[in-house]
Amino acid sequence: MTSVSEIIEQRNWQVVEAPFNAGKLSHLETIFTIGNGFLGLRGTFEEGYPGEMVSTLAHGIFNHAEGELVPDLVNLPNPLAVKITVNGVEFSMERGKGQMLGYRRVLDLRTACLTREVIWHNGVDAIVKLRFERFASLKNPHLVAQRISVRALLGTPIIRFNSRVDGTQNNEGVHHWEEMQTGGEGDLIFLNRVTTQSRYRIAVASLHQFNPMLKAELTLTAGQPSLAYQTSLAVDSEVALIKWSAIHTNRDSDDPLHAAQMTLKAAQQQGYESSYQAHVEEWATYWHDSDIQIEGDETAQRAVRFCTYHLLIAAPRDDDRVSIGAKTLSGPGYKGHVFWDTELFMVPMLTLTQPKIARNLLMYRYHNLEGARHKAQKSGFAGAMFPWESTDTGEETTPQWTHPLPDGTRIRIWTGDNEQHISTDIAYAVMQYWHWTGDDEFFLKYGAEIVLDTAVFWGSRVEYNADQGRYELTNQIGPDEYHENVNNSVFTNRMTQWHLQTAITVHDWLLREHPTAGAGLIERLGINTQQLTRWRDIIARMYLPKDPQTGLLEQFEGFFKLDRIDISHWQPRVANLDAVLGHERTQEVMVIKQADIVMLMALLGDQFGSRAEQEHHWTFYYPLVDHGSSLSPSIHAWIAARLDHMADAYKLFHYAANIDLEDLKGNIRDGIHAAAAGGVWQALVFGFAGLNLDEMGNLRLMPKLPSHWRSVRFRVWCKGQQRQIVIGDETSTNP
Ligand code: BGC
């Protein structure tokens, strides 16, 4: 018998939809995405509905279609499509003659398996129970498995399954494919394609097992091969279709179609149950390392697991040439592009709980250093300047313009030109990874080069103001994107100072610890004494605007002169303030899009200043923030907890953790807010738990838990050892 605590435990791993909610189609499609670090499949239904957004995305498959401003992460053919008819009536939950008698859809976070059960009257002569299961294998990331069963509850219906590989998908109207082959034979159907510009080859193939065994009818419509199986059912008997699908590309195999066929054959030999078990066991190892257990707050528990789930299904485990886009593999938002979201919001959780994956993500930046060097060179600078938006080539892929507004005008997007802090954000993530893992091999071979060459960029980028005798950075965009092209953004200037200081430390470490390899790298990057002298001078004389009267750092030069508006008067509101006030007016008011100075506090901790100074800045800046970006609340929650503002900390944490579950930003259709998910982990671990690794290698905890939480447990990797942290009745222990 199931105990109460088992029921609660199970509930804390499940996201449930019951009854069916047609009005939340796109919301639920996003949150019910399944994936395995190679691909992501939105939670659309097998049978298809108007208004749905079917999306099958695999890391790294970008294409720049003719006439488009920037590349897209390409929407692949959909392997999940299956239509079912019951005595000739097509199964549909919202149209036609049929009637829904019961419905429940569950995403089990622990097993990453999506199931749906429906009791359905076909409106004529039969009642059936349909059960759909799907998972994207974590054991073999090229494999997707579905099992669909139909049981006759009333009547003796004829059941027909029509299974397709649906190649009609595109990217919101943009087409990226040339068809190479539509094929099939026996129980197999497939599509073989190539992208128009990037020439990625991809095969999507499905193999079917039908019980009872029957010969299928094959139809090879171009771009939509299908197989139909038909049988009649006696009352209380069941029929089941297992659909195996394989996705391979020329990124993983020279002959993707052959590879897909091999994957399918192996899966069929292994069988559904055993394949599912292998998948679940693999998931257990990831949850062992990354789960956070909260006692005393079921809502937070489930929401935190939901965030962790979405980071884990998006995190590339076997590929170090791809990274996680701002919306993971769960939707079309930002066209799959990679931002600072990855390094400062997602990577920390992975560095501490899945260091191998964090390493892959940092290697993606290493492999793309050429693109970053190219960008620096094109802009007239030395070293490496990473793109604000990145895809598969490492080149800058931020669009320069928005799409036309209703009045036909377009707005210039400046982030690709001037949001340059990303180079330092990447260096910060590399240093954080090295600090926690002690992975000298990575650092010596790859990490140091990222940190140093981006420092070379800053050394050439910083401007000397001879009149004032100080160094400056003009025309920047800090995290607060409401104010563009500003001079002396404190975030950017202070992080540049940190970056150059760090680069000097790395330089010295290389020469001390690895004289031959270190000297080779330093020489290759052209770093010489003259340059080091300049870096030291910049560190000493970098301008950080500050009000001498109040001692407050000014977010950027001129910020304190902007118009003050009280944003509390604008609540409740869903739209961001820049959308309400308009682009121009927003620049004139003292409203901040997201954690900016507060982000600096999070990154620098005590190096930002004393506790009193932090409090002083929090008191001034917190009321000005609009949280216009989903990246904002979690970072504020983290700092609020450190400064003992526990009510605010919990409110912000709760908001961040539920952004997607409750669609709090109103744009969930575009995909998961992955940075928010990563920020939630940091708010909990660095904020509430106050975890820190000091320079001496000591793990420190300064817990400040919400008062209703009884305990928090999690594991972190630290210098190659896994440590279990327990906050609550017990104290920190080893595993
Ligand atoms: C935020 C950026 C973020 C981007 C992608 C923007 O709205 O302001 O900081 O990188 O979204 O998530």
- Atom index in ligand 1 nearest the CA of residue 593 equals 8
Distances (CA, A) of 535 to 29, 368, 527: 50, 25, 11
Query: Are residues 680 and 631 part of one domain?
Result: yes
Query: Are residues 272 and 307 part of one domain?
Result: no
pLDDT digits (tens, 9 = 90+) for 70-82: 999 999 999 999 9
Considering the domain boundaries, does residue 469 fall inside one? no
Expressed in angstroms and rounded, the spacing between residue 660 Cα and the centre of ligand 1 is 16
- What residues are annotated to the active site? 481
pLDDT at 97: 79
pLDDT at 344: 98
Considering the domain boundaries, does residue 347 fall inside one? yes
Q: Are 630 and 333 in contact (CB under 8 A)?
A: no
Considering the domain boundaries, does residue 538 fall inside one? no
Query: Are residues 282 and 315 part of one domain?
Result: no
pLDDT at 730: 52
Query: Are residues 65 and 38 part of one domain?
Result: yes
Choosing from 339, 578, 626, 635 the residue with most ligand 1 atoms within 8 A of its CB, the one to mutate for a pocket test is: 339
pLDDT digits (tens, 9 = 90+) for 595-627: 999 999 999 999 999 999 999 999 999 999 999
Give the N- to C-terminal CA distance of the chain in Å, as an integer: 31
Calculate the CA dihedral of residues 259, 263, 264, 265 and round it to 10 degrees: 100
Res 503 pLDDT > 80: yes
Query: Are residues 42 and 92 part of one domain?
Result: yes
- The residue segments making up the domain with residue 711 are 292-354+627-735
pLDDT at 633: 98
- Atom index in ligand 1 nearest the CA of residue 327 equals 12
CATH number at residue 55: 2.70.98.40
Q: If DSSP codes are grouped into helix, strand and coil, which group holds residue 33?
A: coil
pLDDT at 735: 42
- Exposure string of 621-654, with b = 16+ CB inside 10 Å and e = fewer, is bbebbbbbbbbbbbbbbbbbbbbebeebbbbbbb
Query: Are residues 311 and 230 part of one domain?
Result: no
Say if residue 385 is exposed, middle or buried (CB neighbours under 10 Å; 0-12, 13-18, 19+).
buried
Expressed in angstroms and rounded, the spacing between residue 257 Cα and the centre of ligand 1 is 37
Q: What is the mean pLDDT of the chain?
A: 96
Query: Are residues 318 and 192 part of one domain?
Result: no
Q: Which of 3-7, 417-421, 659-663, 723-727 has the lowest mean pLDDT?
A: 3-7
Choosing from 389, 481, 634 the residue with most ligand 1 atoms within 8 A of its CB, the one to mutate for a pocket test is: 481
Q: Cα Rg for the chain, rounded, in angstroms?
A: 27
Res 168 pLDDT > 80: yes
Query: Are residues 117 and 173 part of one domain?
Result: yes
Query: Are residues 159 and 21 part of one domain?
Result: yes
pLDDT digits (tens, 9 = 90+) for 623-662: 999 999 999 999 999 999 999 999 999 999 999 999 999 9
Choosing from 591, 599, 631 the residue with most ligand 1 atoms within 8 A of its CB, the one to mutate for a pocket test is: 631
Q: What is the mean pLDDT of residues 548-568?
A: 96
Tokens of 534: 């300049």
Query: Are residues 322 and 206 part of one domain?
Result: no
Res 733 pLDDT > 50: no
Number of domains, the chain: 2
287, 311, 335 - which closes a domain: 287
Q: If DSSP codes are grouped into helix, strand and coil, which group holds residue 260?
A: helix
Expressed in angstroms and rounded, the spacing between residue 260 Cα and the centre of ligand 1 is 36
pLDDT digits (tens, 9 = 90+) for 652-690: 999 999 999 999 999 999 999 999 999 999 999 999 999
pLDDT digits (tens, 9 = 90+) for 691-716: 999 989 899 999 999 999 999 999 99
The set of protein residues with a Cβ atom below 6 angstroms from ligand 1 is 326, 334, 339-341, 479, 481, 593-594, 629, 631, 675
Q: What is the mean pLDDT of residues 88-92?
A: 96
Res 255 pLDDT > 70: yes
Considering the domain boundaries, does residue 413 fall inside one? no
Considering the domain boundaries, does residue 448 fall inside one? no
User: Whose C-alpha lies nearest to ligand 1, atom 12?
Assistant: 326
Considering the domain boundaries, does residue 422 fall inside one? no
* Spatial distance between the Cα atoms of 337 and 565, rounded to a whole number of angstroms: 34
Query: Are residues 307 and 250 part of one domain?
Result: no
250, 271, 287 - which closes a domain: 287
* Spatial distance between the Cα atoms of 150 and 439, rounded to a whole number of angstroms: 52
Expressed in angstroms and rounded, the spacing between residue 340 Cα and the centre of ligand 1 is 8
**735 vs 394 pLDDT, higher one:** 394
- Atom index in ligand 1 nearest the CA of residue 415 equals 2
Expressed in angstroms and rounded, the spacing between residue 717 Cα and the centre of ligand 1 is 29
Could you write out the DSSP letters of every residue in 659-725? TTTTTTTS-GGG---HHHHHHHHHIIIIIIS--EE-TTS-EE------TT--EEEEEEEETTEEEEE
Query: Are residues 95 and 228 part of one domain?
Result: yes
Distances (CA, A) of 325 to 304, 329, 330, 392: 20, 7, 10, 11
287, 311, 333 - which closes a domain: 287
Considering the domain boundaries, does residue 446 fall inside one? no
Considering the domain boundaries, does residue 711 fall inside one? yes
